Chain A
C-alpha cells in the first residue's frame, strides 16, 4: 500500500496478481487444514471434541476469508506494480545464496557454509576485495564458535570438515 515505486522504467509483476495469488495460496492452505482435520475427525467423539474439531473451524474461516480477499484482489486497480523486476532481482540475489546456504547446513554443519555465504556475498554483491571479505567471513563463525560452543556450551551442527580438523 505504501511502497513507493520510484523510477518509471522497468516493468514487473502487478500488485493485483500477487494479491490474488496470495489469496489462492491461503485458500489452498485452508483446504489442506480442512482435509487434515477431516482425516482425524472433526466431530464430537465419545469423550468430547475430536482432534480435528478446532482446526476444522480454523480451516473453514481461512477458506472463507481467503475468498473475500480473492474478491477484493480482483477488484483492485490493475496498474500498481508489486515490485520492479530489478528489485525482485535484488531480492533473489539474497534469496538464492540464502537457500543454498540453508540447504548445505544439514550436510556440512553451520560453520563452513557460513564462511562461504559471507565470503561469496561480500565479494559478489558488495564487490569487496578478498582480504576484508575473508576476514569477516572467518571472523564471524569463529566468534560464534568461541561464544556459543566454548562459553555457553551450546553445540552447533558440524560436518565432515570439522571432524577432519578434530573440532
Chain B
C-alpha cells in the first residue's frame, strides 16, 4: 500500500513536467472544443487525434489523450446549459435544470456548479482508482484464460443487464462487434476468415474507423435530421459568481456523495456515464427536499448528473488499466492506443510499466485541476464556437473525420469504411441499438476470443472449464446474473403482481 504512494509521488514528478502540463492544457482545450461541437465527441475525438501521438512517449501521449477526454466531459456541460443541446449523451440530464437556470439569467451559476461538480466527481473517482486499481491488478495477476474470459463475459453481460435498450438489441449490437473483430487473419490458425476474397478486409476492421464513423458521421446525420438551430444564452462567469456558487455547493454534499457512488459503480461496470447521470438525477429528484422544483432550474439538478457523469467517465479508466477491459467507448479507444504504443493493458501493466501507470494516475489529478481552471476562465470563447452555424461546421467536421480515418492506417479504403459505419450508426441509433457495446466488442473481440479458445484448449473443449474453480465460477455467476437481470426483474414483478387479484 505504502509503496503505491511512493509510486504516486514519482508519478506526480512525471506529470508535473512542464511539457506534460502544456500537453494537459492543450488536451483540455481540444477536448472542450470536441465536446462542444456536434459530431465530435470524446470517443471519436480521441480516435482522430490518436495517430498524432505515435511519435510521442507513451506517458505524454496518454496524458494528452486522457485530458482530451476530461475536456470533452467538461465541454458537454457548456452546450447543455447554454444551448439546451447536449454535446454528449451523458450531459442530457444536465439540460433538465441547467438550461432553465440559463434562461432565467443564472447561466454563470449553472456552469460553475456543473464544472465544480464534474471536478469533484472526477477527483473522488481518481482517489478510488489510486486506492483500488493496484489491488485489483494484483488480484488479476492470478487470472488464467478462463478467468480472463469470465471477466470479459461479466463486462458484456452487464451491458445487457444495465442498458435501457431492449436486451436482444444490445446483444445483436455487441455480436456484430465481435463478428467484425473476427474478420481477417485468424491469429491462432493463420487462416483468413470472413473476408470472402476481398483483399481490403485482410487486416479486419479497425475499431478507430468504426468509432469515427459511428459516432462522428452518424451524429452529423442525426443533427441534420433534427435541423438544429443554435440559439444560445450568453455566458459570463466572473469570480464573484464563482465564489457565490461555491459557497452554496457544500449544502448539497449528500447529493454529491450519492452521485459519486453511483458514478463510480456505473463507470467500473461498463454501463458508462450516460445511465449514471440519469440515475443520479432521478434519485436526487426523488430524495431532495426541492424535488418538485427539479426541471425549473434547481442547482441540485445540475450537481447530481454532472458529478455522476464525471465520476463514471473517470472510473471507467479503472477496469481498463487494471484488467484491460475498458468501461466506456472512450476508454476503449485509449486502450487501443496503449496497444499501438506497444503496451499490454491489464494487470501486468502495474508491474512492468509502473512509471507509465502512476504518471497517468497523477496526471488525472493534475489534469482535472488544470481543466477546472481552464473551463471556468474560457467559457465565453467556447460559447462563441457554438454560434458558428451548422452549415459551416458540418462539412468541416466531415473533412476532419475523413482525415482522421485516413491517418489511422494511411489507407483510403478506411475513408470509405468510415462512411459505411456512419450510415450504420445513424440507422442503429434511430432504432435504439446501443453503439457502445459494438465498439467495445470490436476492441476486445480478439482478446476475448483468444481467452475463450485457450480455456477450451485446456479443457479439451468442455465448457465446464468456466466453472472449474471458485474464482472463475463466481465471476461467471455474476456475469449470468447481470446478463439475465432484465428477465429476473420481469419474473420478480410478475410474482409481486400475482398475489393481488385485480
Q: 28 interchain pairs (CB within 8 A)? A: A15-B431, A22-B431, A26-B172, A33-B179, A36-B194, A47-B189, A54-B449, A55-B179, A55-B182, A58-B182, A65-B169, A69-B172, A72-B166, A90-B225, A91-B224, A94-B221, A94-B224, A98-B422, A110-B406, A117-B398, A118-B399, A121-B395, A125-B391, A127-B391, A128-B392, A140-B396, A141-B399, A154-B52
Which of B132-140, B263-271, B304-312, B411-419 lies at the interface with chain A? B411-419
On whether the beta carbons of A40 and B193 are closer than 8 Å, the reply is yes
CA of A97 to CA of B224, assembled, Å: 13
Chain A positions within 8 Å of B392 at CB level: 118, 122, 126, 128, 136
- Least Cβ distance of A85 to chain B in Å? 11
Contacts of A42-75 to chain B: CB distance below 8 A: 44-45, 47-55, 58-59, 61-62, 65-66, 68-69, 72
Q: Main SS of chain B's interface residues?
A: helix
On whether the beta carbons of B395 and A29 are closer than 8 Å, the reply is no
On whether the beta carbons of A118 and B396 are closer than 8 Å, the reply is yes
On whether the beta carbons of A128 and B182 are closer than 8 Å, the reply is no
Most chain-A CB neighbours within 10 Å: which of B193, B220, B395, B399?
B395
Tell me if B257 counts as interface (CB < 8 A to partner A): no
On whether the beta carbons of B193 and A37 are closer than 8 Å, the reply is yes
On whether the beta carbons of B176 and A29 are closer than 8 Å, the reply is yes
On whether the beta carbons of B172 and A62 are closer than 8 Å, the reply is yes
- Least Cβ distance of B452 to chain A in Å? 6
Residues of A near any B CB (own CB < 8 A) = 1, 3, 15, 18-19, 22, 26, 29-30, 32-33, 36-37, 39-40, 44-45, 47-55, 58-59, 61-62, 65-66, 68-69, 72, 82-83, 87-88, 90-91, 93-95, 97-99, 101-103, 105-106, 110, 114, 117-118, 121-122, 125-128, 136, 140-141, 144, 148, 152, 154-157
Residue of B nearest to A4 (CB): B226
Residues of B near any A CB (own CB < 8 A) = 51-52, 55, 166, 168-169, 171-172, 175-176, 178-179, 182, 186, 188-189, 191-194, 196, 217, 220-221, 224-227, 389, 391-392, 394-396, 398-399, 402-403, 406-407, 410, 412-413, 415-416, 418-419, 422-423, 426-428, 430-433, 449, 452-453, 456-457, 461
On whether the beta carbons of B179 and A110 are closer than 8 Å, the reply is no
Chain A positions within 8 Å of B396 at CB level: 118, 136, 140
CA of A112 to CA of B394, assembled, Å: 17
On whether the beta carbons of B456 and A29 are closer than 8 Å, the reply is no
With known contacts A62-B179, A98-B419, A101-B398, A3–B430 Cβ distance under 8 A: yes
On whether the beta carbons of B220 and A44 are closer than 8 Å, the reply is no
- Least Cβ distance of B487 to chain A in Å? 13
CA of A45 to CA of B161, assembled, Å: 35
On whether the beta carbons of B457 and A48 are closer than 8 Å, the reply is yes
With known contacts A82-B430, A117-B395, A117-B399, A51–B188 Cβ distance under 8 A: yes
CA of A108 to CA of B223, assembled, Å: 29
On whether the beta carbons of A87 and B182 are closer than 8 Å, the reply is no
Residue of A nearest to B196 (CB): A36
On whether the beta carbons of B191 and A105 are closer than 8 Å, the reply is no
Residue of B nearest to A99 (CB): B419
Residue of A nearest to B189 (CB): A51
Chain A positions within 8 Å of B196 at CB level: 36
Choose among B168, B186, B220, B422 the residue that contacts A68 (Cβ–Cβ < 8 A).
B168
